[in-house]
């Protein structure tokens, strides 16, 4: 027969693996890139920077929040707009019937 259930539970290990994936241009990816750019900008000037940065975005708006301790003097708006432009979000028209609007624009987004 088999091993007792108690002994089997101690030796057998079962793992469940799960992951999430989003497409290019998804707001989660935009937010990750903005947060990474803020971190990189801080570290490029002050390698001892402490950055706990979160980013949120919706409807042509990007909000950066968190706690940043650094000697770097950053233009956060420039950093954010640079990321948005790099992803080629360059058109925003607030109307659902406009097919060419990408829903985001580096020049007009609120930061």
Note if the pTM is more than 0.85: no
pLDDT for 25-58, tens place per residue? 677 888 999 999 999 999 999 999 999 999 999 8
HEC profile of 15-84: CCCCCCCCCCCCHHHHHHHHHHHHHHHHHHHCCCCEEEEEEEECCCEEEEEEEEECCCCCCHHHHHHHHH
Q: Round to whole Å and give the CA distance between 105 and 103.
A: 7
Classified as helix, coil or strand, 106 is coil
pLDDT for 59-101, tens place per residue? 889 999 999 999 999 999 999 999 988 886 666 656 555 555 5
pLDDT of residue 80: 93
In 3D space, the residue among 38, 49, 48 whose CA is nearest the CA of residue 81 turns out to be 38
* Mean pLDDT, range 4-24, rounded to an integer: 70
């Amino acid at each position: 027969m088999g091993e007792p259930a108690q002994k089997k539970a101690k030796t057998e290990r079962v793992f469940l693996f799960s992951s999430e994936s989003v497409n290019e241009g998804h707001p989660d990816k935009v937010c990750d890139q903005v947060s990474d750019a803020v971190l990189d900008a801080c570290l490029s000037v002050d390698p001892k920077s402490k950055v706990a940065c979160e980013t949120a975005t919706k409807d042509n708006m990007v909000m950066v929040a968190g706690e940043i301790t650094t000697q770097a003097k950053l233009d956060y708006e420039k950093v954010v707009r640079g990321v948005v432009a790099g992803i080629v979000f360059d058109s925003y028209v607030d109307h659902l019937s406009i097919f060419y609007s990408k829903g985001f624009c580096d020049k007009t987004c609120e930061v």
